[in-house]
Chains A and B, each alone.
Chain A
Amino acid sequence: MTNRLSTAFSNGPALVAFITAGDGDTDANLDALVAGGANVIELGMPFTDPMADGPAIQAANIRALGNGTKTADVLTIATDFRTRHPEVPLVLMGYANPMIRRGPEWFADALEAAGVDGVICVDLAPEEDEDLGPALRAKGIAPIRLSTPTTDDARLPQVLDGSAGFLYYVSVAGITGKQSAAIDSIEANVRRIKQHTDLPVAVGFGVREPDQAREIARIADGVVVGSAFIDLVEKYGSDAPQHLQALTAKLADAVHNAR
């Protein structure tokens, strides 16, 4: 299949934008992220127990579930997005239980039909890959793994084995949206990871401001922003799209012109 993900990372640093499915008018919000210049869309699958997420994304999960968002709705959002934006890569991010509830093959089939390019499953360690990885790979959907400051050189090969799309470097040991890491630490880690893989490396957790995004884009292939967008969805509700587009444009400008 065409590789929307590798294309997105092939023209300089990419902006990866995250929002949670079912929180606000997701279709309009996603369109705003694309219009603002996001290169990759990360769509959160809501879960009752998002234990790697900070308060902003936890609250988004609860709002989405409170709105009655089902797995079927997430898939519809993805399918409609693919129809409207045939070239923009779309990645689902979430937790293992909703992804494997009906079996990994069911999920992989559904994602293929929806035109999803990759999956980030936060609590599926490489050690448990067989629960989802083989089914995704069989359908050409990229299992995107996370590497963290605690992932040392001895462990990195195991994390990279079977992963595809890009590597998501979690720049702080912690939860989403909280503190941010020093740029020196990010640079050293990205350089270290790049000795192990040719996959693009995107850096996330705690990135909110264009200045931070610019610094990271000088050394990494992608910058992931999530909680800052979620905050806008919460604050502005149905008026969120214009604010999302404005923030995306600023971040995209910083990322794309960093080098």
Chain B
Amino acid sequence: MTENTPNSFRNQPDDRGHFGQFGGRYVAETLMPLVLDLEKEYRKAQGDSAFKAEFDDLLEHYVGRPSPLYFAPRITEELAKTAPQGMGAQVWFKRDELNHTGAHKINNCIGQILLAMRMGKTRIIAETGAGQHGVATATVCARFGLPCVVYMGQEDVRRQSPNVFRMKLLGAEIVPVTAGRGTLKDAMNEALRDWVANVHDTFYIIGTAAGPHPYPELVRDFQSVIGKEARAQMLERTGKLPDLAVACIGGGSNAIGLFHPFLDDPEVKLLGVEAAGKGLHGDEHAASLAGGFPGVLHGNKTYLLQDEDGQITEGHSISAGLDYPGIGPEHAWLKETGRVEYTSSTDDEALEAFQLLCRTEGIIPALEPSHAIAAVAKVAPTMRKDQTILMNLCGRGDKDIFTVAEALGVEI
């Protein structure tokens, strides 16, 4: 922790949307009035008990919250086998993979579509990488009867065809993006181009805790239901807070949602896990904090994978959901303050962890949280048996079985 440790880690951003030097509102002028309006409307919604009541009601009865907190005995035992005597921490999972649509993404989509309707917007757009956020957005649009356009990189459309079909079933229009390399960042560029041309009636539901202020803040707030529930559940079940909380990070929305309610509990260590792809030494990874530099993209200042001229380089990860060259600005700030530690897992480590969870607990995780499981597998044996690890199992792996089969050389 630096000498300038703030009194609280939970009062960011400032009134200009900055988390320390990160965050902000770096958008074309056409969007600025809208972004300012959104902030105004969000402040009103925050003070409106009816808004909160509707959000909570939908989370309970439509999404299926609270998600369970699960003690995972067999993976705990398995990881303790390699540990010295008395070591091997208990592993607990926050089961956000049991949410409607199979991931944490829906928490945020519910909140944002309620805001969109408050603002009188009648058309929804979104970007998606792996398709989870696209599916969650298409879902809430169907639920509220709003037209939905999802921008998805051509390459991701190919890699994630089951989710493309899901979105179509839900009534969304999918626009394949061929610009750039046809992945998540290109889809986000195209969504911004749509938004700038349709500001009068369109709301952009951003899928992660990034983008211009107030998106990083409001996405965090909507996702914080994960950490709030988990904190209360851990206290109830174990009588204490966890010693360590772990989550994977692409843009970082599930991680900030888990971490934020714990930021002012100094006894709780926090660990974010980026995607190291084929290894941090080369270019084929998506670890913006480990391998990037501060810069400006998609409306905020944050760590970015970029070259010496500020050109954005493409991330790589076996998990399409982590394959993004940036990271939410609050994570950039939490890294610089030292409150959260960040590490990374490679494609191979994630694949191994994926299989470990399948076999020990009967849970098929998404490839994204498999990166977090890999980190848990490394750290659990170094912690005492009476210590607890809380990990957000933020998505289920049904969507990934084709990718995993291909990586394992299996034909299905």
B180–A48 touching, CB < 8 Å? yes
Interface bits B199-233 vs A (CB < 8 Å: 1, else 0): 11000000000000000000000000000000000
Contact of B310 among A54, A98, A149, A172 (CB under 8 A): A98
Chain B residues positioned under 8 Å from A124 (CB to CB): 26, 296
Contact status of A128 and B26, CB under 8 A, knowing A101-B295, A175-B196: yes
B29–A151 touching, CB < 8 Å? yes
Stretch at the interface among B301-309, B380-388, B401-409: B301-309
Interface membership of B189, Cβ < 8 A: yes
Interface membership of A40, Cβ < 8 A: no
A123–B196 touching, CB < 8 Å? no
A139 to B326, CA, bound (A): 32
Interface membership of A26, Cβ < 8 A: no
A interface size (C-beta, 8 A): 42
> Considering the complex, which residues of chain B in the window 11-31 have a beta carbon less than 8 Å from any beta carbon of chain A?
16, 24-31
> Considering the complex, which residues of chain B in the window 28-73 have a beta carbon less than 8 Å from any beta carbon of chain A?
28-34
B28–A178 touching, CB < 8 Å? no
Contact of A148 among B29, B179, B200, B312 (CB under 8 A): B29
Interface membership of B281, Cβ < 8 A: no
B interface size (C-beta, 8 A): 37
Chain A residues positioned under 8 Å from B32 (CB to CB): 125, 127, 150-151, 155
B202, chain A: closest CB distance, angstroms: 11
Query: Tally of A-B residue pairs with Cβ under 8 A?
Result: 113
A155–B33 touching, CB < 8 Å? yes
Chain B residues positioned under 8 Å from A54 (CB to CB): 193
A49 to B185, CA, bound (A): 8
Interface membership of A166, Cβ < 8 A: no
A123–B296 touching, CB < 8 Å? yes
B199–A150 touching, CB < 8 Å? yes
B180–A49 touching, CB < 8 Å? yes
Interface membership of B311, Cβ < 8 A: yes
A58 to B308, CA, bound (A): 21
A125 to B27, CA, bound (A): 6
Chain A residues positioned under 8 Å from B180 (CB to CB): 48-49, 62
Interface membership of A145, Cβ < 8 A: yes
A121 to B204, CA, bound (A): 23
Chain A residues positioned under 8 Å from B312 (CB to CB): 48-49, 97
B184, chain A: closest CB distance, angstroms: 12
Interface membership of A252, Cβ < 8 A: no
Contact status of A128 and B29, CB under 8 A, knowing A101-B308, A175-B196: no
A58 to B197, CA, bound (A): 16
B30–A125 touching, CB < 8 Å? no
B297–A49 touching, CB < 8 Å? yes
> Considering the complex, which residues of chain B in the window 155-206 have a beta carbon less than 8 Å from any beta carbon of chain A?
179-180, 185-186, 188-189, 192-193, 196-197, 199-200
Could you list 12 A-B pairs, sorted by A, with CB under 8 Å? A49-B297, A49-B312, A51-B189, A51-B193, A52-B192, A71-B309, A95-B296, A147-B29, A150-B30, A152-B33, A170-B29, A174-B30
Listed in ascending order, the chain B residues whose CB lies under 8 Å from chain A are: 16, 24-34, 179-180, 185-186, 188-189, 192-193, 196-197, 199-200, 295-299, 301, 304, 306, 308-312
